[in-house]
């Protein structure tokens, strides 16, 4: 648990936001991941978020097979990149060109989903696989049947589009959306304040913009972990996430340091090393089950 005495960081934070009280009326129906994050914080659990769906040899970025593999390994969050085809279909791909991660070439401009669905994916070693670019709807179904949370990184998709898709597919309990700015977070929560969001580390601005902090967790960036900042946010009942990409070296230290700092969600590239460092797949799955509704 991360209950600590008030620190100078917390005093400064409270000075920005006044006597903050987590909102209770912004949404009568918060999405399920919000309660799970609270449980992780209260029990000192660190969960993993696999960057770009956790690619590995034979498992491409943003692939359905990669998502299923994450669930088997005890990874709860799968960060995926969401784009819009020319016909409005939402699909998974990181780049704005086909060359690096598929057997296609050229940029995505003007491509419709029927065309995009014909391309095969390619793993990070350059090997083509017998798997196509997935739609977001397909990813929702994989998440639903495998107990995953999809961490949506929106590339060219606006708040109205993604919220409409989430509602259409009844996927509120399957997603957490990355909001890169206070404005993005406010736009999403204006449409559905119960959605779980990753938000910037600016509590005062978020509060003033009407963002529901009860269903948000704060992104602390990719630099050195900051236990004091995490503790200050924990005192406010707010969870945190951090990117460990720049410090992953195959060893356990970066993950254990972030866990010791109290960070609930560790965004990582090296799935196997992170799983091993945090106690293995069975242990992670047990923690997930403990905090499931």
User: CATH number, domain at 195?
Assistant: 3.20.20.190
The answer as to whether 194 is a domain residue is: yes
Segments forming the whole domain that contains residue 62: 27-82+151-290
Q: What is the pLDDT of residue 23?
A: 39
Please answer whether residues 46 and 255 qualify as being in contact, where contact means their C-beta atoms are separated by less than 8 angstroms.
Answer: yes
Query: What is each CA distance from 120 to 62, 102, 161, in whole angstroms?
Result: 12, 5, 26
pLDDT at 94: 98
Assigned domain for 212 exists: yes
Q: Read off the pLDDT of residues 269-281 as tens digits, 9 standing for 90 and up.
A: 999 999 999 999 9
Q: Is residue 99 part of a domain?
A: no
Closest CA to 149 of 251, 4, 265, 256: 265
Asked, for residue 110, whether it belongs to a domain, the answer is no
Q: Is residue 157 part of a domain?
A: yes
Phi, psi of 34 (to 5 degrees): -65, -45
Return the pLDDT at 24. 37
CA 265 to chain centre: 8
Contact 281, 67 (CB under 8 A): no
* Ranges in the chain, pLDDT < 70: 1-28
In a domain, 171, yes or no: yes
- What is the total count of domains within the chain? 1
Does residue 236 lie within any of the structural domains? yes
CA–CA separation, 80 and 178 (whole Å): 10
Is residue 79 helix, strand or coil?
strand
Give residue-wise pLDDT tens across range 192-219. Answer: 999 999 999 999 999 999 999 999 999 9
How high is the pLDDT of residue 293? Answer: 77
Q: What pLDDT sits at residue 266?
A: 98
CA-to-CA separations, 133 to 126, 153, 222, in angstroms, rounded: 15, 16, 28
Nearest 5°: phi and psi at 80? -130, 155
> Would you say residue 137 lies in a domain?
no
Write the DSSP assignment of 150-219 as a string of letters.
Answer: EEEEESS--HHHHHHHHHHTT-GGGEEEE--SHHHHHHHHHH-TTSEEEE-S-HHHHHHTT--GGGEEEE
């Amino acid at each position: 648990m991360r209950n600590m005495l008030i620190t100078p960081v917390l005093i400064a934070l409270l000075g920005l936001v006044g006597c903050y009280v987590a909102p209770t009326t912004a949404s009568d129906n918060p999405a399920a991941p919000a309660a799970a994050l609270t449980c992780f914080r209260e029990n000192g659990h660190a969960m993993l978020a696999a960057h770009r769906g956790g690619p590995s040899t034979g498992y491409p970025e943003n692939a359905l097979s990669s998502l299923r593999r994450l669930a088997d390994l005890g990874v709860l969050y799968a960060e995926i990149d969401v784009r819009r085809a020319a016909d409005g279909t939402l699909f998974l791909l990181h780049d704005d060109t086909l060359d690096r991660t598929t057997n296609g070439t050229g940029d995505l401009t003007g491509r419709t989903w029927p065309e995009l669905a014909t391309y095969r994916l390619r793993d990070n070693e350059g090997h083509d696989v017998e798997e196509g670019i997935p739609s977001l709807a397909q990813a929702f179904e994989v998440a639903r049947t495998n107990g995953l949370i999809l961490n949506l990184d929106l590339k060219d998709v606006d708040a109205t589009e993604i919220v409409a898709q989430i509602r259409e597919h009844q996927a509120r309990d399957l997603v957490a959306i990355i909001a890169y700015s206070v404005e993005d977070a406010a736009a999403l929560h204006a449409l559905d304040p119960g959605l779980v969001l990753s938000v910037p580390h600016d509590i005062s601005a978020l509060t003033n913009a009407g963002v529901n902090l009860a269903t948000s967790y704060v992104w602390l960036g990719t630099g050195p972990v900051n236990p004091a900042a995490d503790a200050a946010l924990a005192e406010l009942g707010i969870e945190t996430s951090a990117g460990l990409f720049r410090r992953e070296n195959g060893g356990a230290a970066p993950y254990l340091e972030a866990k010791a700092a109290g960070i609930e969600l560790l965004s990582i590239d090296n799935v196997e090393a992170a799983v091993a460092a945090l106690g293995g797949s069975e242990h992670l799955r047990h923690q997930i089950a403990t905090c499931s509704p």
